[in-house]
Amino acid sequence: MRLYLKLLKFVKPYTLILFLAILTMGISTLFDGVSLGMLVPLADNILTGKKIILSRRLPLFLENLIHTLNNTPSLTLLKLTGIIIVILFTLKGLTSFLQGYLMNLLSQKVIRDIRNLLYEKIQSLSLDFYVRSKTGSLVSRITYDVSWVQIALSEALADLVFYSFQLFLFTFIIFFIHPKLALLSFILLPLIGLPAVRIGKLLRKISKRAQEKMAEINTVLFESITGARIVKAFSMEEYETQRFKRYNQDFYALMLNAIKKNLALGPITEFFGACAGVFVLYLGGKEVIKGTISFGIFVLFLGSLLSLLKPFKRLSKVYTINQQALPAIGRIFEILETQPSVREVSHPYILKSFEKEIIFENISFSYENKFVLKDINLRIKKGEKVAIVGPTGVGKTTLVNLIPRFYDPTEGRILIDGVDIKEMSIKSLRSHIGMVTQETILFNDTVRTNIAYGKPDASFEEIVSAAKVANAHDFIMRLPEGYNTLIGEHGAKLSGGERQRLAIARAVLKNPSILILDEATSQLDSASEKIVQEALERLMENRTVLIIAHRLSTIKGVDKIVVLQNGRIIEMGTHEELMERGMVYKEMYEMQKLTS
């Protein structure tokens, strides 16, 4: 129920459409009632030539109507009935088209909005959210789960309203004609609903498991498609195929199970319905034989009762759809209500330019419960080049990720020009920071767009000159369509060094005052490393730089080297100072000199 109220918020902008849909449903239901009423003169006056008899008093206009009908010649009545039936069916067709169209219009609009909102939300969440969630499961929320919302609105909600109207109308008719018989029929009706409730519960469980399987399937797909090279290199095609087949088979079995239950529901309900119908037929027939009501009126009673079966069936289906849609809707709201862990204060400080220094003040950091950094105190003056070194897994990447606020420190503060970065607008903070990392993230687009990512209004001249600084211009010109070449997903059509240089060009174009280089050359061979190194040197000119590098020879010239061990800073100084000190850094340096 709570979930539905939340869902209603999305429907609210389209209240008018909903209102019109409900109106057409009401009209359509009235047409149904009138069509059924046409059976009375047809059965009594026209076909059997008898008068209409009803065992109760009617409002005056109906009494008059029946009186007129009873006194009209059969043939005239027959012609009239024919004409009215054609008109009724035309109007009924029109309203039923309209009601279907309006409800689908509504549901399509709502799911479009929900998809957009979900995507926007996912974009706004912090990195830890991405680390925690599986890509496939996220994708299946935007596709599979959202489609359940559509079903819930265009089928369940529509049926709920429309068939409630029908239920109301036909119930009214049968109670009007013969209250005692109607009551009796109604005692039998709940029998028909019972199996639906039972099956609905089962379906809810199945649906939950089906979604989990779908998420698993999506995850396998993503991993094996994006990791195709590794799959092939390790000849794991067979393994991946088996893994996929297993999940696919499970999904198939679940779906089939759900379908079986759904299909069985109809016949079961109908069987109970028919039993009840026969019983009523017997009792009502006796009344006609006695002459308390006419045959035509009994036909109307029976017709109305039969017309009640469909609403009952559809309303029980609404229930089963709900059982399946509710978990999906719940998962959608789970994402929509996730708060980004890195949040902006309400009146953030706008960092216009970086002027003086970055200070790490007693910084500690832990992922969930695992401490990575402890008591880090570090000052980086504007224009300084600072290298961070230490064994793998010590927390170097984590340390630099704190500056653009990919994560917030567990303890301590980071100050830029004296202002805590938590007080700053995230956008303004990040606008001063450029990053070139070990993994270059490129998009399936042209070289030009990839370089201009983050600065879409850059002119072509700016892009070319950035590429030149990054030593990328020459190789780009050799590509089949130069700057307009599509580079494939994640830049698959480029070499590692080329990708790296595009990433550097991107950073050059952004022209940040603070630059973070995280193992920017570690994947390259020495020939391309030289070209990339050269590009990096140019990029580093006149900027404040934090460099993470394994190869210590590449950072000898920096202003300050910070050595991390066990999450703490254990040494800090220039290359010469640290060599002179003769402790950890010197040891690391000499080890590397030996092995290279």
Ligand X SMILES: Nc1ncnc2c1ncn2[C@@H]1O[C@H](COP(=O)(O)OP(=O)(O)OP(=O)(O)O)[C@@H](O)[C@H]1O
Stated as kind and residue range, the H or E segment containing 502 is: helix 496-510
DSSP symbol at 157 = I
- How many CA atoms lie within 13 Å of 292's alpha carbon, on the beta-carbon side? 11
Q: Smaller CB distance to ligand X: residue 57 or 370?
A: 370
Among 220, 332, 372, 389, binds ligand X (CB under 6 A): 372
Show the beta-strand stretches assigned E in 424-503: 433-436
Instruction: Give the chain's count of helices (H) and strands (E).
Output: 22, 10
Q: Which stretch binds Mg ion (CB under 5 A): 127-135, 300-308, 395-403, 579-587?
A: 395-403
Among 178, 314, 396, 543, binds ligand X (CB under 6 A): 396
The owner of tokens 């009494």 is 63
How many C-beta atoms lie closer than 10 Å to residue 361's C-beta? 15
Q: Which stretch binds ligand X (CB under 6 A): 6-14, 69-77, 317-325, 396-404?
A: 396-404
Which residues make Cβ contacts (< 8 Å) with residue 25, sequence separation at least 6? 95, 99, 158, 161, 162, 165
Residue nearest to Mg ion (CB): 397
With contacts defined by CB under 5 A, how many residues of the chain interact with Mg ion?
A: 1
Q: Which stretch binds ligand X (CB under 6 A): 301-309, 391-399, 452-460, 468-476?
A: 391-399
Is residue 395 within the footprint of ligand X (CB under 6 A)?
A: yes
Smallest gap from Cβ 434 to ligand X, in A, equals 18
Q: Which stretch binds ligand X (CB under 6 A): 43-51, 110-118, 210-218, 393-401?
A: 393-401
Residue 244 CA to residue 213 CA, distance in Å, equals 11
Q: Smaller CB distance to ligand X: residue 396 or 430?
A: 396
Smallest gap from Cβ 389 to Mg ion, in A, equals 11
Q: Smaller CB distance to ligand X: residue 200 or 395?
A: 395
Closest CA to 194 of 91, 90, 265: 265
Is residue 397 within the footprint of Mg ion (CB under 5 A)?
A: yes
Q: How far is CA 321 from the centre of its chain?
A: 19
Residues 351-370 vs ligand X: string with x where CB under 6 A? ----------------x--x
Q: Smaller CB distance to ligand X: residue 33 or 412?
A: 412
Reading the block at residue 330, the tokens are 């719940």
Residues 339-378 vs Mg ion: string with x where CB under 5 A? ----------------------------------------
Residue 125 CA to residue 330 CA, distance in Å, equals 18
> Which does residue 414 touch among Mg ion, ligand X, none (CB within 5 to 8 A, set by kind)?
none
Stated as kind and residue range, the H or E segment containing 412 is: strand 411-416
Q: Which stretch binds Mg ion (CB under 5 A): 63-71, 94-102, 390-398, 564-572?
A: 390-398
Range 155-174, binding ligand X (CB under 6 A): none
Q: Smaller CB distance to ligand X: residue 134 or 205?
A: 134
Q: Smaller CB distance to ligand X: residue 89 or 367?
A: 367
Range 94-153, binding ligand X (CB under 6 A): 131
Q: Smaller CB distance to ligand X: residue 70 or 135?
A: 135
Is residue 563 within the footprint of ligand X (CB under 6 A)?
A: no
CA–CA distances in Å: residue 74 to residues 62, 68, 81, 88, 293:
19, 12, 10, 21, 20
Tell me the three-class secondary structure of 80-111, residue by residue.
HHHHHHHHHHHHHHHHHHHHHHHHHHHHHHHH
For the CA atoms of 358, 361, 364, 368, the dihedral, rounded to the nearest 10 degrees, stands at -60
Q: Which stretch binds ligand X (CB under 6 A): 22-30, 258-266, 388-396, 506-514?
A: 388-396
Amino acid at 452: A
Amino acid at 239: Y
Smallest gap from Cβ 502 to ligand X, in A, equals 21
Q: Smaller CB distance to Mg ion: residue 43 or 517?
A: 517
> Which does residue 123 touch among Mg ion, ligand X, none (CB within 5 to 8 A, set by kind)?
none
The owner of tokens 């998009």 is 443
Smallest gap from Cβ 395 to Mg ion, in A, equals 8
Helix (H, G, I), strand (E, B) or coil at 355: coil
Closest CA to 273 of 203, 201, 196: 196
* 405 CB-contact burial (10 Å; exposed 0-12 / middle 13-18 / buried 19+): buried
The contact set with Mg ion (CB under 5 A) reads 397
The contact set with ligand X (CB under 6 A) reads 131, 367, 370, 372, 392-398
